[in-house]
Amino acid sequence: MDRRGLLGGAAGAVALTVWPAAITAATGAPPREVLTVAAFPLVDEIGRAAKARWQALHPDVELRILTRQYVDHHTAMTTALSTARGLPDVMALESSFVARFARGTGLLDLNQAPFGAAQYRERLVRYAYDQAITREGAMVAMPTDIGPGTMLWRADILQRAGVDGAAIGRSWDDYIAAGQRIKATTGAFLVSTVVEMKDILIRSGLKAGEGLYYDQDSRALADTPRFERAFEVALRARQLGLDAKLTTWTNEWAEGFKRGTLATALSGAWLVGQLANWVAPDTRGLWRAAHLPEGANAAYGGTFYALPRQADAGRRALAWDYIRLMTLDAAQQLAAFKQQDAFPALRETHDDPFFDAPVPFLAGQPARRLWREAAGRIQAMPVHRQNAFAEEVVSTELDNVLTGRKTIRQALADAQKLLTRRALR
Asked whether residue 55 falls in the same domain as residue 100, the answer is yes
Residue 121 DSSP class? G
Asked whether residue 107 falls in the same domain as residue 156, the answer is no
Question: What per-residue confidence (pLDDT) applies to 1?
Answer: 53
For residue 56, the enclosing domain spans 4-147+300-360
With 0-12 / 13-18 / 19 or more C-beta atoms within 10 angstroms meaning exposed / middle / buried, residue 378 is: buried
Query: In one letter, which amino acid is 49?
Result: A
Asked whether residue 252 falls in the same domain as residue 121, the answer is no
Res 22 pLDDT > 90: no
Q: Contact 302/147 with Cβ under 8 angstroms?
A: yes
pLDDT per residue as tens digits for the range 239-280: 999 999 999 889 999 999 999 999 999 999 999 998 998 899
- Mean pLDDT across 374-386: 83
Question: What per-residue confidence (pLDDT) applies to 208?
Answer: 64
Asked whether residue 49 falls in the same domain as residue 174, the answer is no
Helix axes 95-102, 70-83, angle to 10 degrees: 20
In this prediction, residue 24 has a pLDDT band, given cuts at 50, 70 and 90, of very low
The whole-model pTM stands at 0.85
pLDDT per residue as tens digits for the range 167-181: 999 999 999 999 999
Q: Contact 301/3 with Cβ under 8 angstroms?
A: yes
Question: What per-residue confidence (pLDDT) applies to 85?
Answer: 92
Asked whether residue 290 falls in the same domain as residue 389, the answer is yes
Asked whether residue 354 falls in the same domain as residue 268, the answer is no
Question: What per-residue confidence (pLDDT) applies to 23?
Answer: 39
Asked whether residue 41 falls in the same domain as residue 170, the answer is no
Structural domain count, the chain: 2
Which helix (H) or strand (E) covers residue 92, if one does?
Answer: strand 90-94
Q: Considering 360, 377, 407, which residue would you say is the last residue of a domain?
A: 360
Asked whether residue 271 falls in the same domain as residue 253, the answer is yes
Asked whether residue 80 falls in the same domain as residue 28, the answer is yes
Q: Considering 317, 336, 360, which residue would you say is the last residue of a domain?
A: 360
Rounded (10°) CA dihedral 42, 46, 47, 48: 100
Asked whether residue 57 falls in the same domain as residue 41, the answer is yes
Question: What per-residue confidence (pLDDT) applies to 8?
Answer: 43
Asked whether residue 285 falls in the same domain as residue 417, the answer is yes
Asked whether residue 291 falls in the same domain as residue 170, the answer is yes
Q: Considering 325, 342, 360, which residue would you say is the last residue of a domain?
A: 360
CATH number of the domain to which 159 belongs: 3.40.190.10
Query: In one letter, which amino acid is 396?
Result: T
**Total residue count of the chain as it appears in this document:** 425
